[in-house]
Homo-oligomer: A and B are copies of this chain.
Amino acid sequence: MVMHESPLTRKLSAFVWLSDVDLATLARFYRRRRTFAPGHALTHEGQTNASAFVLAEGWACSYKITPDGERQIVDFQVPGDFLGLRSILFRTSDHSIEALTRIEATEVLASDIFDAFGEAPRLATAVLWAASRDEAMVVEHLVNLGRRTAEERTAHLLLELGTRLNLVGLADQGGFDCPLTQYHLADALGLSAVHVNRVLRHLREEKLVTFQKGRVVFDDLDGLKVLAGFDRSYLDQEGPLLR
């Protein structure tokens, strides 16, 4: 049965094998495909009853602002990722989400999720798995900030993005197109933009990675992995869990 596959279906069936009933339940959702311009705020901290999305095209990021106005980017989202899954269950969202490029996304209402749980319990497992994987990425970012130097951190982030994009066919061994600015990297890595610039220069001089003009090129992928201490296992989905 190769009917039109939505991003949500693709996302969840990577985790759990879905029956026809599961698929039919899912098919009733994702009718709401929407487009947003770069810079558009899909969700902002404190917003009530935010809905979630599955990103089909483009890049987004989620972030929090501290009381003294500093921004910490929690994660970047690329096609296939959930946007705002975490706050779908909160009365008020604890973070903001912003489109970095023009994006296309299908909306998922909280009620869609609850209804699906009632009708197709496997979907509950799949959604919990998706949430767990998102959390695993945040945890790895925490390790990055807490226990790695600026260079290791930067290398690690670029490797993570490359790996994640590779899983959805948007990157290869050579590199990937990347719409991020050095300010974005700085806010994700807990560094200043000036220092990010110096780190990128050094990584380039060491012939490890080159990030210029919207493209990341892996000059020495293995060397970069060693430098970053990169272990991709936290990103792996390893095929469906439940048969």
Contact = CB atoms under 8 A, between A and B. Distances in A.
Interface of A: 15, 46, 64, 66-68, 70-72, 74, 85-92, 94-95, 113-114, 117-118, 121, 124-125, 127-129, 131-132, 134-136, 138-143, 145-148, 189-190, 229, 231, 233-234, 238, 241-242
Contacts of A95: 139
A143 B135 CA distance: 14
B86 A143 contact: no
A189 B147 CA distance: 9
Given A86-B132, A124-B121, A135-B135, A74 B142 contact: yes
A197 B168 CA distance: 46
A190 B147 contact: yes
A64 B143 contact: yes
Nearest to A64: B143
A113 to B, nearest CB: 8
Contacts of A89: 15, 125, 128-129, 132, 241
B118 A66 contact: no
Contacts of A85: 132
Contacts of A74: 139, 142-143
Given A117-B121, A128-B89, A66 B147 contact: yes
Contact of A67 (B66, B128, B146, B231): B231
23 contacts: A64-B139, A71-B147, A72-B143, A74-B142, A86-B132, A88-B132, A89-B129, A89-B241, A91-B241, A92-B233, A94-B139, A94-B234, A95-B139, A114-B121, A117-B117, A121-B121, A127-B128, A131-B131, A131-B135, A135-B135, A138-B142, A142-B142, A147-B190
A85 B135 CA distance: 11
Contacts of A241: 89, 91
A190 B113 CA distance: 37
A142 B187 CA distance: 11
Contact of A66 (B114, B117, B132, B148): B148
B147 A70 contact: yes
A236 B65 CA distance: 18
Nearest to A62: B139
A71 B72 CA distance: 22
A207 to B, nearest CB: 22
